[in-house]
Amino acid sequence: MLWPAHPHPYRDELLSSWLVRVAHANGLKVQSFCRLTFGNERQVWNRDIDRLAPLWLIEAMATRTGTTIERVWQTTLMAYRGKLFEQEKASGQLKWMLSLQMYHRKRLGHGMQFCPICLSEDVEPYFRRAWRVALYTFCPKHNCMLLDRCPQCGQGVAYHRIELGHPREMSMEPLCICWACSFDYRQSKIEPVHKWNGRTFQSWEKVLRIIDSGTPSSSRFDYDMLAVLHQMAKLLSSNGAKQKLAEYVTTRTGLAHPRMVTGKLSIESRELIDRHYIMGLAWWLIGRWPSRLWVAWTQRALKYNWLMRDFSHAPSWYRNAADKLHQQLSLKKIGTRTQK
């Protein structure tokens, strides 16, 4: 049986965003709606439902809104399987998917991004699936930087908590209102994207538009290229000896950053400003493949063994480039011994 109000998901809308809108459309607060619909024994908000949606939730959203099961699954991050990552994981980091850092019903991280202009243009503000992708740091439609927190109080986005602390109020705030300080995200200051290299941002923006297209087919995604991009981002954000690579690329591009990005944090767990910086360096490094990689190696900013570390499913064209570097290294060692 359908719910009295059963709006369908908007283009590229996340399951969590859609569920909150359905609750409000039925005149109920989110927590009350979930308790009455699913019962106390089935908890919804103690998990990242956009990544780990239980089957009973998927089936309920399909049955009670008149939406196909396939369309409901498309509101989850699992729609990126085979496009941005190979297989789903019940725990641990999922490649390219931003981490919410769940703690009970709280989100300690800043894994939900938004474009203020997109929210302003919505008839009813909602949150996109594309905004959970780590390399999606700016809006290709409006050429502005995304935000990953409230610009007024600094809290992460958690629209399922908007009504908490207001037990006697029945008015339903739109999803673009900060749960902590009631700031309207649509009023955020807009920061244009600094496109410091035309070719770099052309490649980057092309991928963002594919991700932003709603239900893109697997054939439009270059999985191998994105896997290599992820590997480069990992190397560029490493500490220790690998920091030389980030320093080298920074010098070559002239791209300044307020602090050197180092540490063991994955690209998916980093703040937006760091991710945007790292991704820019990574896109530049794989441009004009593989010449920039070779030059980095000749400048001793890159070592052969870094290229294949923890990259067991590297594409053949990447392996070929790494093998050539290894061959050059072997010839160099032979030449050195001969001279001695």
Instruction: Report whether pLDDT(282) > 50.
Output: yes
The backbone region for 308, taken as left when phi is positive above 0, alpha when psi lies in -120 to 50, beta otherwise, is: alpha
Same domain? For 145 and 239 the reply is no
* pLDDT score for 336: 47
* Mean pLDDT for the stretch of residues 112-126: 98
Tokens encoding 224: 């191998």
Decide if pLDDT at 242 tops 80. Answer: no
135-165 confidence digits (pLDDT tens): 999 999 999 999 999 999 999 999 999 887 6
Long-range contact set of residues 105-110: C-beta below 8 Å, sequence gap at least 24: 105/45, 105/46, 105/160, 105/161, 106/158, 107/156, 107/157, 107/158, 108/156, 109/156, 109/269, 110/148, 110/149, 110/156, 110/157, 110/271, 110/272
Closest CA to 193 of 276, 271, 128: 276
Render pLDDT for 167-194 as a digit per residue (tens, 0 to 9).
Answer: 555 567 899 999 999 999 999 999 999 9
At residue 172, the pLDDT reads 78
- 63 and 157 together in one domain: yes
Residues 142 and 254 grouped into a single domain: no
User: How many CB atoms are closer than 10 A to CB 256?
Assistant: 8
Q: Look up the pTM and report it.
A: 0.92
Please, are residues 146 and 272 in contact by the beta-carbon 8 Å criterion?
yes
Is 216 inside a domain boundary?
A: no
Q: Are 99 and 109 in contact (CB under 8 A)?
A: yes
Does residue 167 lie within any of the structural domains?
yes
Domain boundary among 172, 187, 202: 187
pLDDT at 190: 98
Rounded Cα distance between 1 and 112, Å, is: 32
Task: Calculate the average pLDDT of the chain.
Answer: 89
Range of the domain at 314: 222-339
Give a yes or no: residue 316 inside a domain: yes
Residue 7 lies in a domain: no
Structural domain count of the chain: 2
Structural domain contains residue 203 = no
Greater confidence (203 vs 340) lies with 203
